[in-house]
């Protein structure tokens, strides 16, 4: 039996990346991401500026995705879009665009939960990567989210734990800001940490539920620590930047590993699938792979372009939903808070 070829145009606009992708079944033909640079000078994402930039980016980004894929919009089988969670103004741009285009082309519309998409990105066709099998534990770590999810099937997911305050990426970025590093500081902490002693300074591990996270206390303890040290030595940060970064990174990784150990213990599942931009962190990657060597668990990390916010991950969910005819109606609205 010959199966139908499905072309999905996917749109992601939940935060500060405007992205469009075209998939042919589970294969990515194009994945265009316009990262909004404007937020850099403000030290974080400014919601109003993000939605304005999405408005400017969306048409060229979609055009580019179709052109790169060499697909005419008349060939499309469906439009998938991020319904939430995210910034309302940002989500509205992608949602309205997707609804109008699906209506104009008279093809199905498919709504996608951004958090599910981070985890289902593992099912994008990639000859270099093996896919997790169900059930597995999903860990989503980015500037906007920190969640541990039990993934029983494509659309059967249960949040086991999540952050009670800041996301792990925010913990990196806010710590970096305290050290005078530019936004986003996560990659810079990673870079300096490589040269430092991770055990030089000790920061506290938060006491929250065994699968929950909290990073605001860490930020406060770093703030007071730096204040105290700078009073004694005004050049404390520049003289010890590598060791400070290494110690901060070590603490964050220690928290993540502790929670993963708890999740493995609680569920008996030994497959961990990672998503989100913080998975780029070299220290985290190393620790996760080291755990494989000692048979504690197997770690799956998709290609980096599918880890950060991107439309290809929305497209794979679109493809999976298309097969189940899980289509949305035209009266669907964006959802800033969208749990599953």
Q: Which two tokens stand for residue 285?
A: 């990657």
Using the minimum distance from each CB to ligand KG4, give the nearer residue, 38 or 230.
38
Q: Site residues (CB under 5 A) for Zn ion?
A: 142, 309
Q: Pick from 108, 169, 302, 315: which binds ligand KG4 (CB under 6 A)?
A: 169
Q: Given the structure tokens 């009073």, which residue do they identify?
A: 231
Q: Given the structure tokens 């901060």, which residue do they identify?
A: 248
The candidate with the shortest Cα–Cα distance to 196, out of 244, 253, 242, is: 242
Answer with the entry of Zn ion, ligand KG4, none that 308 interacts with (C-beta below 5 to 8 A by kind).
Answer: ligand KG4
Q: Does 278 bind ligand KG4 (CB under 6 A)?
A: yes
Answer with the entry of Zn ion, ligand KG4, none that 275 interacts with (C-beta below 5 to 8 A by kind).
Answer: none
Q: Pick from 135, 187, 206, 217: which binds ligand KG4 (CB under 6 A)?
A: 187
CB of 187 to Zn ion, least distance (A): 16
Main-chain phi, psi angles of 218, to 5 degrees: -65, -45
Interface map 75-114 toward ligand KG4 (x if CB under 6 A): ----------------------------------------
Q: Pick from 46, 105, 280, 287: which binds ligand KG4 (CB under 6 A)?
A: 280
What residues pair up with 11 in beta bridges, in sequence order? Answer: 20, 81
Using the minimum distance from each CB to ligand KG4, give the nearer residue, 196 or 277.
277
DSSP letters of 263-302?
A: HHHHH---EEEEESGGGG-HHHHHHHHHHHHTTS-EEE--
Q: Does 139 bind ligand KG4 (CB under 6 A)?
A: no
**159 burial level (CB within 10 Å; 0-12, 13-18, 19+):** middle
Q: Does 173 bind ligand KG4 (CB under 6 A)?
A: yes
Answer with the entry of Zn ion, ligand KG4, none that 173 interacts with (C-beta below 5 to 8 A by kind).
Answer: ligand KG4
Q: DSSP strand E in the chain: where?
A: 7-12, 17-24, 27-35, 78-84, 109-113, 136-141, 146-153, 156-162, 271-275, 298-300
């Amino acid at each position: 039996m010959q199966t139908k070829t499905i072309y999905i145009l996917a749109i992601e606009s939940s935060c500060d990346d405007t992205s469009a992708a075209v998939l042919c079944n589970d294969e990515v033909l194009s994945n265009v991401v316009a990262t909004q640079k404007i937020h850099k000078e403000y030290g974080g994402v400014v919601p109003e500026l993000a939605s304005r930039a999405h408005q400017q980016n969306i048409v060229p980004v979609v055009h580019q995705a179709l052109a790169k894929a060499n697909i005419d919009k008349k060939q499309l089988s469906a439009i998938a879009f991020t319904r939430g969670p995210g910034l309302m103004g940002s989500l509205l741009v992608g949602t309205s665009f997707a609804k109008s285009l699906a209506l104009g082309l008279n093809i199905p519309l498919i709504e996608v939960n951004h958090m599910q998409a981070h985890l289902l990105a593992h099912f994008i066709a990639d000859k270099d990567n093996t896919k997790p099998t169900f059930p597995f534990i999903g860990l989503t770590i980015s500037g906007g989210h920190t969640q541990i999810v039990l993934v029983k099937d494509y659309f059967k997911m249960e949040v086991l734990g999540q952050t009670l305050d800041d996301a792990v990426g925010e913990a990196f970025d806010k710590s970096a800001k305290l050290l005078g590093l530019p936004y986003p500081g996560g990659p810079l902490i990673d870079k300096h940490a490589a040269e430092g002693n991770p055990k030089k300074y000790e920061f506290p591990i938060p006491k929250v539920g065994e699968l929950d996270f909290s990073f605001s206390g860490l930020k406060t303890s770093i703030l007071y620590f730096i204040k105290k040290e700078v009073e004694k030595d005004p050049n404390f940060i520049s003289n010890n930047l590598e060791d400070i970064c290494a110690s901060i990174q070590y603490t964050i990784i220690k928290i993540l590993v502790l929670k993963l150990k708890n999740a493995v213990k609680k569920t008996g599942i030994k497959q961990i699938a990672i998503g989100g931009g913080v998975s780029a962190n070299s220290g985290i990657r190393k620790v996760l792979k080291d755990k494989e060597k000692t048979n504690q668990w197997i770690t799956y990390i998709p290609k980096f372009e599918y880890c950060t916010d991107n439309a290809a991950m929305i497209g794979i969910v679109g493809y999976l939903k298309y097969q189940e005819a899980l289509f949305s109606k035209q009266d669907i609205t964006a959802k800033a808070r969208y749990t599953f």
